[in-house]
Structure 1
Amino acid sequence: MAYSHNYQISARRHLKAAEALYALNTGGAQPGAKAVAGYLYGLAGELAVKEMMTQSGMRPLADDQRRNDPFYKHFPELKSLLLDSAAGRRSGELLNVARTAQIFQEWSTDMRYAPTCEVPTHRVDRWQGDAKRLVVQMEEQ
């Protein structure tokens, strides 16, 4: 089954889930829940950026061009591809996200395979801030 894309709702949903895991304090939940929250913060941030891309007038490329399509990439590759493809009314904001090295620094989808000890809380804290800022920015159409 093919699913439709609603980046805005998805960004909010992933942020909400990340916040719930981040705050989870039941016995044995931490630090593993925070590590998963860190992963979800990254997805929320990506979705917020993709919604801004859509608001800017950008659209996904044809299926045979997905290899170079920022709509189908994760941080940090998403940021790299935006440097060459950002267009439209929010292009300045998108370029700023792409050029700011600190935004989701050291975040990678590979972390989903890593032991919890390799996802330090201080990084999750930074990613939490990044995700919240990007979701707020996404809402400021």
Structure 2
Amino acid sequence: MSQFTPNMTKAAHRNWAAAERNRNAAGPDRTTAGYLYGIAAECAVKALFRDIPWTTDSKDGPVYAHFPQLKAKLRDAISGRGASQLARFTDQHFMEGWAIDIRYSDGARPDNATLEKWRTDAEVARAELL
């Protein structure tokens, strides 16, 4: 059992704040900002659907998935269920190009335009929590 109790809402805000601190840096810190925007967006989206009764914490379910697989799992889970609030987070352009393995990258990417797109997407998701 983990000693850390999940709180997706607080995690979304914490990762957003850390991303903002790294946003204007060059090189690897910009990559870190991109990584953290993705994590912030994931946590925000997960916070939005976590209390819906049809979600589970199965290791195969959306709670443990990362973009882009998270979008596919969420899309499958909300199909026909009237969860329009969540449907926009399954769009192919939402967090496009972000993947969890950015954490292993050489720090050369993302470019500024991609970083700003991820920032905007993360802010959209996070704004749903406010």
TM range (shorter): 0.7 to 0.9
Looking at structure 2, the residues matched to 10 and 91 of structure 1 have their Cα atoms a distance apart, in angstroms, of 23
- CA distance, structure 2, for counterparts of residue 35 and residue 81 of structure 1: 26
Alignment of 1:1-141 (within 5 A): 2=2, 3-24=4-25, 30-61=26-57, 65-67=58-60, 69-86=61-78, 91-98=83-90, 100-139=91-130
Provide the rounded CA distance (Å) in 2 between the counterparts of 1:12 and 1:58. Answer: 25
CA displacement 1:91-135 (0-9 Å, x = unmatched): 21112211x111100000111112222422211111011111110
Give 1 or 2: higher helix fraction.
1
TM-score scaled by structure 1? 0.82
- One-letter amino acid of the structure 2 residue matched with residue 66 of structure 1: K
Alignment partners' CA distance in 2, 1:93 and 1:57: 15
Deviations 1:32-73 (A, max 9, x none): 211110000000000000000024445433xxx412x10000
TM-align CA RMSD: 1.9
Q: Mind listing any 5+ residue stretches in structure 2 that lack a counterpart?
A: none
Could you tell me the percent identity over the aligned residues? 28
Instruction: State the structure with more CA Rg.
Output: 1
Cα distance in 2 for partners of 1:14, 1:90 equals: 29
Residue 75 of structure 1 aligns to a residue whose secondary structure is coil
Task: Please list every run of 5 or more consecutive structure 1 residues that lacks an aligned counterpart in the other structure.
Answer: 25-29
